[in-house]
A = this chain, B = another copy of it.
Amino acid sequence: MGLALNAKMKINKPASVVYDAFVNPDRIKNFWFSKSSDVWVSGRIITLGYEEYVAEFDIEIVLTELDRKIVFNWGQGNEIRTNTITFDVISEGMTLVEVVEEGWNEDNNDLLAELLQNQTGWVYMLTCLKAYLENGVSTLRTGLVI
């Protein structure tokens, strides 16, 4: 499958709660994007914004399996990548969230910098997600300087 980024986090909440935090525009702002234009469902184009980092762009939701999996694409042209977020039940009330980002253009001169930047983003988001769901802390998501 070629080059891929990967990050995994255990979260002490049921998969349904973790899944909803991504697809529900009222909840994602507590740990990741400040704006998500609609509920995430298969086939929908969603505009995401990160006010604090002056970023706004569209993603395409390729697939949603309730409480189990989200697949979406971001980027443009030769730089479209596919992100898969899976929600696995480790035990009752404990979920493993895994992110895989694949489809990297290996001819990109800035590949290493972009890999490191996006890995940074995934790990940061997953840690903010854990703090939000387990501790109700939603103030971590603007501290990283990029």
CB within 8 Å of B: which residues of A? 5, 7-11, 96, 112, 115-116, 119-120, 123-124, 126-128, 130-131, 134-135, 137, 139-140, 142-146
In contact, A120 and B7 (Cβ under 8 angstroms)? yes
* A140, chain B: closest CB distance, angstroms: 5
Least CB distance from A82 to B in Å reads 18
Residues of B contacting A119 in the complex (Cβ-Cβ under 8 angstroms)? 116, 119-120, 123
| Chain B contacts for A135, CB-based, 8 A | 131, 135, 137, 139
Q: How far is the CA of A144 from the CA of B7 in the complex (A)?
A: 8
Shortest beta-carbon distance from A24 to chain B in Å: 22
CA distance A72 to B100 in the complex (A): 32
Shortest Cβ gap from A110 to chain B (Å) = 14
Q: Is the CB of B5 within 8 A of A144?
A: no
Q: Whole-angstrom distance from the CB of A5 to the nearest CB of chain B?
A: 7
Interchain CA distance A126-B144 in the complex, whole Å: 9
What are some 27 contacts across the A-B interface (CB < 8 A)?
A5-B116, A7-B144, A8-B144, A8-B146, A9-B143, A9-B144, A10-B145, A112-B112, A115-B116, A116-B116, A116-B119, A119-B119, A119-B120, A119-B123, A123-B123, A123-B124, A124-B127, A126-B144, A127-B140, A127-B143, A127-B144, A130-B140, A130-B143, A131-B131, A131-B135, A131-B137, A135-B135
